[in-house]
Amino acid sequence: MTTALPATTALPATTALPMPTSPAAVSPDYVPPYQNYVYAYPHKTAYRPLHPRPALTDLWSGEPQDALSLYLHVPFCEVRCGFCNLFTRVGAPDELTTRYLDALERQAESVRDALSPSARFSTAAFGGGTPTYLTARELERLCDIAESMGADLRAVPLSVEASPSTATADRLAVLAERGATRLSLGVQSFDDTEARAAVRPQRRADVEAALQRVRDAAIDVLNIDLIYGIDGQTPESWAASLDAALAWRPEELYLYPLYVRPLTGLARRGGGPDPEWDAHRLDLYRRGRDHLLAAGYVQESMRMFRRGDAPDLGPNDYACQTDGMIGLGCGARSYTRSLHYSFDYAVGVNEVRAIIDDYVAGTVDDFRRAVVGHAMTEDEARRRHLLQSVLQKSGMPVTDYRSRFGSDPHEHFGVELRRWSERGWLDSDGDLLRLTKLGMAYSDALGPELFSPRVRAAMAEYEGR
């Protein structure tokens, strides 16, 4: 059994990653380790308005639908954190949540009509925003909408995001009863001073109380999100947050590097990435990684760590590289083989509110067509497959790539793969392409190097708003 380390335990100093200690030490070939978190490809800033707008029935005709993923987006939070550039708004006046759920029902009807009657969902998730911003009664309705799509929430993995202040007993009871198997709590730091520095007003006592409520709800998997690189954070305070999290023996822990992005609260206060900060974050990442490994956790990706004895949630035959996704809600994405699509994207307060207002005014017919998106060429599909495979600890079997695309990945990405190997980022072990320990640390540099020229150009042209 894994036991948590005492809260006073210091993080061990282990084999260091190569990193500069000051701007003067940076060589001309310095590679910044924190460039872009590639959790989906292409990035939403590469999406553009679609003219004409394609009908969903055409997009999904002929698509494999035997192992789909269902994602419902709730774009509301009680507060916007200083680092957040997600599509969300603070508060929901004038019964906006009710009107939003009404629109979500209309969209679900339109999408359901475009799918095959035999469409099957293998996994489901509620994200945001903060899904638990909704009341317990509204969460019941959200689950009803998901099940109206044909998803059996009690039979497939269901992940839900929450914040400490909204993880109330009545909401958690609804989620547990409706089949939630994973609850992800955005803690970020157990240090009240660090939380304030990240523009996330919360008290540790409230966080601990929320964690107790999650454990009382008996949801199979508790995930705790933590952030490193917060202003004022030290190796000692990072150790304290890690140990505070480990005391709850979470089945999963996600360790996120702090990014300062345009239009966020931290960006308005100035500052941004630099070699010294890169070095600090890499050091905290290394310490956190080694601390969790020593505590019995297994690293699944740069960010994700799973407790070695965590329960198996059962079979899940969804493969993000090949299977489609249905996204409901104005911030959700949907994936077919030919098109990734969504609604408009923004971060600024007024723009987000306008997009939500347009969404809640949408009719069933309005939702029958895709609005913005990015066409997926064969080249883009190859890049996405490689990225979403190699950024995971398990790596990418070359035979899987060859079976799907009819050739070896070195034929398409020989330059990139050689570069990664020369930097010590990549191991080629027979049929398997897998990141080294160093490569895992540099995931946020490796991923962007595989962006296509077309995606790079679209992202560069995007005007933040």
- Residue-wise pLDDT for 234-245, tens only, equals 999 999 999 999
Check pLDDT > 80 for residue 56.
Answer: yes
CA angle, corner 388, sides to 383 and 393, nearest 5? 135
Please give the pLDDT value at position 93. 80
- Tell me what pLDDT residue 92 has: 79
- Mean pLDDT across the chain: 88
Please tell me whether the peptide bond between 424 and the residue prior to it is cis, using omega within 30 degrees of 0.
no
User: What residues pair up with 255 in beta bridges, in sequence order?
Assistant: 226
Is the pLDDT at 208 greater than 90? The verdict is yes
pLDDT band at 310 (very low <50, low <70, confident <90, very high): very high
**Number of other CB atoms surrounding residue 299 within 10 Å:** 17
DSSP codes, 324-373: -EEEESTT--EE-SSEEEE-----SHHHHHHHHHHHHT--TTGGGB--EE
Q: What integer pLDDT is reported at residue 36 of this predicted model?
A: 87
The C-alpha torsion from 386 through 391 and 397 to 400, rounded to 10°, is -40
Dihedral (CA of 252, 258, 259, 261) sign: positive
- Whether the per-residue pLDDT at 272 is higher than 50: the answer is no
Identify whether the C-beta of residue 77 lies closer than 8 Å to the C-beta of residue 118. Answer: no
Task: Give the Cα separation of 99 and 437 in Å (integer).
Answer: 48
Confidence class for position 348, pLDDT limits 50, 70, 90: confident
CB 76 within 8 A of CB 129: yes
Asked, as a colleague might, if the bond just before 409 is cis with ω within 30 of 0, I would say no
457 φ, ψ (degrees, to nearest 5): -65, -45
What pLDDT score was predicted for residue 86?
Answer: 64
Task: Let me know: does 199 contact 83? Beta carbons within 8 Å.
Answer: yes
Supply the Cα-derived Rg of the chain in whole angstroms: 22
> How far is it, in rounded angstroms, from Cα 382 to Cα 463?
27
Give the whole-angstrom CA distance, residue 335 versus residue 60.
10
Q: pLDDT at residue 318 above 70?
A: yes
Is pLDDT above 70 for 255?
yes
Q: What is the mean pLDDT of residues 84-88?
A: 60
Whole-number Å distance between alpha carbons of 165 and 206: 7
Nearest-angstrom CA–CA distance, 13 and 185: 28
| Highest mean pLDDT (candidates 221-230, 252-261, 305-314) | 221-230
pLDDT tens column, 351-362 = 888 888 999 999
pLDDT one-digit tens code per residue, 333-346: 999 999 999 998 87
CA distance 67 to 122: 5
Q: Which whole-number Å values give the CA distances from 2 to 17, 27, 224, 294, in the listed order? A: 27, 42, 17, 10
Please calculate the CA angle 69-72-75 and round it to the nearest 5 degrees. 145
- Mind listing the pLDDT tens digit for each residue in 397-412? 999 999 999 999 999 9
